[in-house]
Structure 1
Amino acid sequence: MQREQFGSRLGFILISAGCAIGLGNVWRFPYICGEYGGAAFVLMYLVFLVILGLPIMAMEFAVGRGSQKSIARAFDVLEPKGSGWHRFKWVGIAGNYLLMMFYTTVAGWMLAYVPKMAAGTFTGADTAQTAAAFDAMLGNPEELVVWMIVAVGIAIGVCSLGLQKGVERITKVMMVCLLAIIGVLIVRAVTLPGAGEGVLFYLAPDFSKIFADVGTFCDAAYAAMGQAFFTLSIGMGSMAIFGSYIGKDRSLMGEAATIGALDTGVALATGLIIFPACFAFGVAPDSGPGLVFITLPSVFEQMWLGHVWGTLFFIFMSFAALSTVIAVFECILSFAMDQWGWTRRKAVIFNLIAIPLLSLPCALGFNVLSGVELAGVGNIQSIEDFLVSNNILPLGSLVFVAFCAGKRGWGWDNFLAEANSGSGLKFPAWIRPWMRFGVPTLVIVILALGWLPIIQTWIGMA
């Protein structure tokens, strides 16, 4: 059976960017950027993006395009006879399922807030009242489960229509709308009285925050390195599948750079919405769920037509979440089709049942199962996130790097030939020593720094 292909290069770029653009971009990145010196942190992040994230993304694309398969069969096609690279497929697909087990619940939060904002639920509410409303939602298992199922249903429904008619066509519209909504919200935010202070806080370089002491510099470097690494969704085959759907007319490093620029642009643009609005109304910026679900609703309600701007913001957040869910679902469906020869219909039906069931522990982890925690990590959602972000993604990236740059995998020459096929930015051959030794060192540092505080907690409890 002939491999499905994207109908256009724009479709490939927007869908790959949609997979990379997620909730971490739109609330975590702006805050840590401000915390570590604004534009100074951006520069550090961009360095790590270029030397770490983009080369690994190009490698994952190359494995997909070179094999014309998802990770279910990509290593089987490309690996030397008798080697065991193909065993990684089970780690990769486990990572995709784990990601969906908690990401669909958070996507449901975003969807739930669209009608809440549109109905004027937070009219006249202060931060204490919006915090109470958020806590009430988390404490309601029926509400969380219903919205999680809605998120799964939307994504699976899109994927069931096929690559071009479903995933490509609808994600293209979703991403264009996302970019348009961002533009409207930025114009509104930066024109608020007093918004200039927020823009300065966010974008004016303040190197003193990074170089205050050795500990602060290490924290900033770790944050920038982690953001560059995790934001691109590399390491578990999510990008390999999209590589398998494209032709050889464009070089892969150039495509990775385009997607990285779009991903970073959305992350930066979100800060131009959040910080001017916070400073305009005298609200101190916060991080994580508190910023999105507690602080911002009360900020929007102080604006003229606040419920309209708030609704648009949560539509934007929903598109960011759903674009990732749709992209990862396509990876999961393609795995089943490549590995077991299933039809798309069979894969859709199986996962329409399996993913909501697997996602139940996370949705219930804020209420019915709130007592289930792992010391040093947190609740069920935190455990699932830790397994993916701090373990499977970095270890998976090491596998792709070793497979492409090492002597016992696909081979450097084969990788370069595939990556540099077509017009556009080429992958430099001289970078091989960095890929073989420098990148693994950085990845191991990420792994170690992720585990260190947890091990310290466990030792302290012993």
Structure 2
Amino acid sequence: MQREKFSSRLGFLLISAGCAIGLGNVWRFPYIAGLYGGAAFVLIYLFFLVILGLPIMVMEFSVGRASRRSAAASFRVLEPQGSHWHLFGYVAMAGNYLLMMFYTTIGGWMLAYFFKMLRGEFVGLSPQEVPGVYDAMLADPKGMVLWMLLAVLLGFGICSLGLQNGVERITKVMMSSLFVVMLVLVVRAVTLPGAGEGLRFYLYPDFSRMREQGFATTVFAAMGQAFFTLSIGVGSMAIFGSYIGKDRRLTGEAVSVTALDTLVALLAGAIIFPSCFAFGVNPDSGPGLVFKTLPNIFGAMPAGRLWGTLFFVFMTFAALSTIVAVFENILSFAMDLWGWGRKKAVVINILLIFLLSLPAALGYNYLSGITPLGAGSTILDFEDFLVSNNFLPLGSLVYLLFCVTRYGWGWDNFIAEADTGKGLRFPKWARFYVTFLLPLIVLVVFAYGYLEKFFLKG
């Protein structure tokens, strides 16, 4: 069967960026940047993005393009005879399914809030009443399941149209719209009275804040954010590598995707901090920021309902771009392993993902008694922990070792694939670093994730 291909380089870049650009760019990056010293933290983050995330992204793209397969089958195509790298394909598949088991619920929240903002549900609510809307949404099992199902149907609906006509065409529109909406919101935010103080907090290098938090803590926070922001480690990038031609070197493509991902994170901060400072609210992290804090700000703005609706259009596109990208990877597993047609893979996976996503959607109501990570935690938190702190770092380590050791695909094969075409070459001098140092850094990030989760709280 002929392998599908993207119709344009722009499509490949925007879809890969769409996969990397998730809600962590919006509700985590601005907060930790502000907490750890603003621009001082951003510089450390960018450094780790280049030395940590970028090489592994190039490796994922290379494995995908050389094999012309998804993670489910790529290692089987490229591995030395008699080796067992292909077993990781099942781990990568599990990681993608697990990611969608909770991300579809979060995507459903974004859709719900877009409609709530559009209908004017927050008009006239006091700052004390706004969090109640979020709490009521979580407590309603039918609503939670309905919005999650809508996110599933939208994602697979786009994928069912095919790679070029569905995934590429619609993601291009979504990502282009996302950037336009963000720029409009940035202009609105930075022109609010008192916005300058927020920008100063966000962008001014403040080393005293870094000292307060501790230099080591700041460095680990930057490493963690740089590592997890790119969605590397479970083949989410490899699939897009399998759909592109050989005319461009992969290091330059990875730089472009990383730059787009970083741009969205930086712009999100330029929306959130000026807005929060202008209205004197705490720019906290996580769902609280988006669902409890920002609706208050939009409520206080002139034409706030319009700006709030635009913001949740942007949030919905950020969530959906990731959902569509990972769904495409999930569909490719079935098409690569069992030769299924796209339509059959879509129908079966709609049912499968819907059923698998029910625990996360019901974890705030019917299943709220289940607290896997201790008091106050939810099923969604546990699934997120499994993906972010286990599948992504350990999967990245597998891609890394596969590309640099003679027991896997090997350095020479990796470099030959990465450097095919025109554009930026993968630096040959980096061989020692990616072979001996980078695997250790990935293990440190993995270990620190556990330390932070279970031993460094409070």
Q: Normalising by the residue count of structure 1, what TM-score does the alignment of the two structures yield?
A: 0.97
Identity of aligned residues (%): 65
Instruction: State the secondary structure of the residue aligned to 2:426.
Output: coil
CA drift of 1:42 comes to 0.4
Tell me how far apart the structure 2 counterparts of residues 453 and 373 of structure 1 sit (CA, whole Å).
18
- Number of equivalences: 456
Tell me how far apart the structure 2 counterparts of residues 127 and 386 of structure 1 sit (CA, whole Å).
31
CA drift of 1:28 comes to 0.5
Partner of 2:13: 13
Q: Determine if the alignment matches structure 1 residue 245 to structure 2 residue 253.
A: no
Partner of 1:56: 56
Summarize deviations over 1:65-85 as a string: whole Å, max 9, x none.
011111121111111000000
Change (3 A) 1:200 1:454: closer
Partner of 1:80: 80
CA drift of 1:285 comes to 1.4
CA drift of 1:157 comes to 0.2
Partner of 2:211: 211
Unaligned segments of structure 1, at least 5 residues = none
Residue identity opposite 1:414 in structure 2 = N
Summarize deviations over 1:346-379 as a string: whole Å, max 9, x none.
1001001000100000000011100101245921
Partner of 2:318: 320
Partner of 1:199: 199
Contact preservation (8 Å) 1:376, 1:453: no
CA drift of 1:423 comes to 1.0
CA drift of 1:445 comes to 1.0
Partner of 2:280: 282
Tell me how far apart the structure 2 counterparts of residues 43 and 230 of structure 1 sit (CA, whole Å).
17
Give 1:15-414 correspondences, 5 Å limit.
15-212=15-212, 216-376=214-374, 378-414=377-413
Tell me how far apart the structure 2 counterparts of residues 254 and 453 of structure 1 sit (CA, whole Å).
34
Tell me how far apart the structure 2 counterparts of residues 32 and 433 of structure 1 sit (CA, whole Å).
32
Q: Normalising by the residue count of structure 2, what TM-score does the alignment of the two structures yield?
A: 0.98
Tell me how far apart the structure 2 counterparts of residues 394 and 311 of structure 1 sit (CA, whole Å).
35
Instruction: State the secondary structure of the residue aligned to 1:427.
Output: coil
Give 1:449-460 correspondences, 5 Å limit.
449-453=448-452, 456=455
Tell me how far apart the structure 2 counterparts of residues 219 and 390 of structure 1 sit (CA, whole Å).
17
Tell me how far apart the structure 2 counterparts of residues 245 and 454 of structure 1 sit (CA, whole Å).
37
CA drift of 1:452 comes to 2.3
Tell me how far apart the structure 1 counterparts of residues 214 and 126 of structure 2 sit (CA, whole Å).
33
Partner of 1:2: 2
Summarize deviations over 1:258-300 as a string: whole Å, max 9, x none.
0000000000001111111111111121111111000100100
Task: Kindly report the root-mean-square deviation, in angstroms, between the aligned alpha carbons of the 2 structures.
Answer: 1.3
CA drift of 1:211 comes to 3.0
CA drift of 1:455 comes to 5.2
Q: Determine if the alignment matches structure 1 residue 446 to structure 2 residue 445.
A: yes
Contact preservation (8 Å) 2:52, 2:226: yes
Summarize deviations over 1:8-51 as a string: whole Å, max 9, x none.
00000000000000000011101100000110110000010000
Tell me how far apart the structure 2 counterparts of residues 6 and 222 of structure 1 sit (CA, whole Å).
37
Unaligned segments of structure 2, at least 5 residues = none
Residue identity opposite 2:397 in structure 1 = L
* Mean Cα deviation higher: 310-319 or 435-444: 435-444
